């Protein structure tokens, strides 16, 4: 769980963004609750007229009002559903763009311990959040209002029913106090183990060729069994808590039903209630008990919603890069670079660069050579602002790299590193990366110079040919040429 923001606080923050629609939902819930609780009063009055043994205009009007009450209750529920659907759509849109906006801005050094494709799987918690929040906004408010209004209405029949209300509130508080936090914790552990299984299956899919020729033929099943066993353990622990809550609820329901029937019968025999009031009171009690049961039945949804916002927060809470404000303005000859006593290490690993100092003037071409794994690519990445936690100083055009607006810096930089890759999209999209300033004439020119043009001429759809993620089925030399054209296409002032 987050050390700074609790799941409850996350839900309140989310609710604040939708307070207009949620206020309207609560308004309709209150209206619906009032109408539903007026129905027992109508039934009580109808019974009084019927016992008179004759039809009357008042009886017909009362029946019509009860029918209208049922109709308007349905109308309020439809309005609640409409508002809830609007909230669900807004949540999906908000989180979709939050993920898309945040992902390219993540601080890579602070995210080194995470496999980002697996971390992004938390996006699917949106579905859980949508469905669970729907129940929280529709069913729980309606049930809560029915309980409150029902208890208030019962006190008007006889003061003895006040004890019923106090007992109900006390038992609900005790259930939530003693089992609420444990239910959330076990649900979080269950969810974590679920993502562990998904991560392992993704890893199997990624290394399928290795698994096919593995000498340990059952290794993948053993690893799956370990993760599934943990999931079942946490799932069972969570179910035990839900079961405990329902056992308590069943006991409460039996005791309260028996007590209310006995108390109501005594009051009726002693003529402290008439038959109409007795029936109406029992209807209200049944409504209250059913509402409490609905509230308790939705506790699992409450846990799911709290777990969903916590899992989504696992991505949205990831730190992003610090961004400067100075736009990079290249000179006529290009960009000058300088490092003074720069040292850098990845999280939890040895020092990759130590006390590096050099200067490259604008317009110069410099080759950095060395053995594999000695930090050549890391050194170049430091000039792009990707890693900002380093010792020493890095200057671009005599200004610290941290002063520059990263979008401006990277728009002037062309890069071709071993970790660059092809994404699912057309060949043209893979080259331009959505940059409208890159012309087809410029791409053709670069394709000719890099030797990519002969390959493009063999493609039936040319630049509109769709490429698979990772460049699957593309020769490695073609991938390198595409990436080189991408790096050069926008005429960068700095080429790495």
Which DSSP string corresponds to 426-446?
A: EHHHHHHTT-TT--HHHHHHH
Place of tokens 């071709």: 416
Residue 270 lies in a domain: yes
Residues 253 and 141 in one domain: yes
Count of Cβ atoms closer than 10 Å to residue 400 Cβ: 12
Average pLDDT over residues 397-409: 87
Residues 281 and 366 in one domain: no
Residues 383 and 437 in one domain: no
Of 381, 348, 402, 356, nearest in space to 494 by CA: 381
Domain boundary among 411, 428, 451: 411
Domain CATH code at residue 277: 1.20.1560.10
Rounded CA-CA distance 425/308 in Å is 31
Strand-strand pairing, 466-467 and 391-396: unpaired
Place of tokens 């846990």: 303
Residue 97 lies in a domain: yes
Rounded CA-CA distance 259/252 in Å is 10
- Does residue 266 surpass a pLDDT of 50? yes
Structural domain that includes position 406: 321-411
Residue 221 lies in a domain: no
Of 172, 155, 174, 173, nearest in space to 163 by CA: 155
Position 340 confidence tier, pLDDT thresholds 50, 70, 90: very high
Residues 432 and 455 in one domain: yes
Residue 126 lies in a domain: yes
Residue 183 lies in a domain: yes
Least confident of 262-276, 412-426, 451-465: 262-276
Residue 46 near residue 66, CB atoms below 8 Å? yes
- Mean per-residue pLDDT of the chain: 82
Task: Answer left, alpha or beta for residue 179, where phi above 0 means left and psi between -120 and 50 means alpha.
Answer: alpha
Of 364, 439, 406, 384, nearest in space to 485 by CA: 439
Least confident of 41-50, 155-164, 288-297: 41-50
Task: Answer left, alpha or beta for residue 346, where phi above 0 means left and psi between -120 and 50 means alpha.
Answer: beta
Rounded CA-CA distance 373/147 in Å is 67
Residues 311 and 326 in one domain: no
Domain CATH code at residue 385: 3.40.50.300
- For residue 279 the two structure tokens come to 């029936």
Task: Answer left, alpha or beta for residue 467, where phi above 0 means left and psi between -120 and 50 means alpha.
Answer: beta
The confidence score (pLDDT) of residue 230 equals 92
Residues 152 and 297 in one domain: yes
Residues 44 and 136 in one domain: yes
Residue 410 near residue 491, CB atoms below 8 Å? no
Residues 367 and 436 in one domain: no
pLDDT digits (tens, 9 = 90+) for 240-255: 888 888 888 788 778 7
Rounded CA-CA distance 269/267 in Å is 6
Residues 154 and 179 in one domain: yes
- Does residue 121 surpass a pLDDT of 80? yes
Question: What is the DSSP secondary structure assignment for residue 109, as one 8-state letter?
Answer: T
Count of Cβ atoms closer than 10 Å to residue 178 Cβ: 13
Task: Answer left, alpha or beta for residue 397, where phi above 0 means left and psi between -120 and 50 means alpha.
Answer: left
- Does residue 143 surpass a pLDDT of 70? yes
The confidence score (pLDDT) of residue 3 equals 52
Residue 302 lies in a domain: yes
Average pLDDT over residues 143-168: 75
| Phi, psi angle pair for 334, to nearest 5° | 120, -140
Three-class SS of residue 344? strand
Rounded CA-CA distance 43/117 in Å is 60
- Does residue 307 surpass a pLDDT of 70? yes
Residue 203 lies in a domain: no
Residue 231 lies in a domain: no
Position 2 confidence tier, pLDDT thresholds 50, 70, 90: very low
Residues shown for the chain: 496
- Does residue 44 surpass a pLDDT of 70? no
The confidence score (pLDDT) of residue 32 equals 78
Rounded CA-CA distance 161/285 in Å is 10
Domain boundary among 395, 411, 427: 411
Average pLDDT over residues 227-235: 91
Comparison of pLDDT for 297 and 84, the residue scoring more: 84
- Does residue 297 surpass a pLDDT of 50? yes
- Does residue 55 surpass a pLDDT of 70? no
Residues 276 and 370 in one domain: no
Average pLDDT over residues 40-44: 68
Domain boundary among 394, 411, 428: 411
- Does residue 53 surpass a pLDDT of 70? no
In this prediction the pTM is: 0.75
- Does residue 147 surpass a pLDDT of 70? yes
Residues 12 and 127 in one domain: yes
Comparison of pLDDT for 210 and 433, the residue scoring more: 433
Number of domains present in the structure of the chain: 3
Residue 310 near residue 2, CB atoms below 8 Å? yes
Residues 453 and 365 in one domain: no
The confidence score (pLDDT) of residue 232 equals 92
């Amino acid at each position: 769980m987050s050390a700074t923001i609790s799941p409850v606080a996350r839900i309140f923050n989310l609710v604040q963004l939708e307070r207009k629609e949620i206020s309207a939902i609560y308004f309709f819930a209150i209206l619906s609750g009032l109408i539903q609780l007026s129905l027992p009063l109508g039934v009580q009055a109808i019974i009084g007229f019927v016992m008179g043994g004759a039809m009357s205009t008042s009886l017909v009007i009362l029946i019509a009002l009860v029918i209208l009450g049922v109709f308007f209750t349905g109308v309020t529920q439809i309005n609640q559903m409409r508002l809830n659907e609007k909230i669900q759509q807004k949540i999906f849109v908000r989180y979709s763009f939050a993920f898309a906006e945040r992902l390219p801005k993540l601080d890579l050094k602070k995210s080194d311990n995470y496999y980002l494709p697996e971390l992004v799987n938390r996006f699917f918690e949106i579905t859980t959040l949508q469905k669970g929040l729907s129940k929280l906004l529709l069913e729980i408010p309606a049930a809560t209002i029915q309980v409150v209004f029902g208890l208030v209405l019962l006190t008007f029949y006889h003061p003895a029913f006040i004890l019923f209300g106090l007992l109900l509130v006390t038992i609900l508080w005790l259930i939530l106090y003693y089992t609420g936090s444990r239910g959330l914790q076990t649900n979080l552990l269950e969810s974590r183990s679920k993502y562990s299984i998904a991560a392992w299956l993704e890893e199997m899919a990624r290394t399928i060729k290795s698994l096919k020729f593995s000498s340990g033929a059952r290794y993948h099943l053993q690893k799956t069994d370990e993760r599934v066993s943990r999931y079942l353990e946490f799932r069972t622990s969570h179910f035990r808590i839900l079961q405990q809550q329902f056992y308590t609820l069943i006991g409460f329901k039996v005791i309260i039903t028996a007590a209310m029937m006995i108390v109501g019968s005594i009051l009726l025999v002693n003529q402290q209630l008439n038959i109409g009031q007795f029936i109406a009171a029992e209807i209200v009690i049944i409504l209250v008990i059913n509402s409490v049961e609905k509230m308790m039945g939705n506790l699992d949804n409450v846990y799911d919603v709290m777990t969903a916002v916590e899992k989504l927060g696992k991505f949205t809470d990831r730190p992003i890069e610090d961004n400067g404000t100075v736009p990079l303005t290249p000179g006529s000859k290009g960009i000058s670079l300088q490092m003074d006593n720069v040292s850098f290490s990845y999280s939890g690993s040895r020092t990759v660069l130590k006390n590096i100092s050099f200067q490259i003037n604008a317009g110069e071409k410099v080759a950095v050579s060395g053995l594999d794994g000695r930090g050549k690519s890391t050194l170049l990445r430091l000039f792009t602002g990707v890693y900002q936690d380093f010792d020493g100083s890095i200057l671009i055009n005599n200004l610290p790299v941290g002063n520059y607006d990263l979008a401006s810096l990277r728009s002037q930089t062309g890069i071709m590193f071993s970790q660059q890759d092809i994404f699912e999209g057309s060949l043209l999209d893979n080259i331009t990366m959505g940059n409208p300033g890159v012309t087809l004439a410029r791409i053709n020119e670069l394709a000719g110079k890099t030797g990519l043009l002969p390959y493009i001429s063999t493609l039936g759809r040319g630049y509109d040919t769709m490429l698979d993620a990772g460049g699957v089925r593309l020769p490695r030399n073609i991938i390198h040429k595409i990436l080189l054209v991408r790096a050069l296409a926008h005429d960068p002032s700095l080429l790495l």
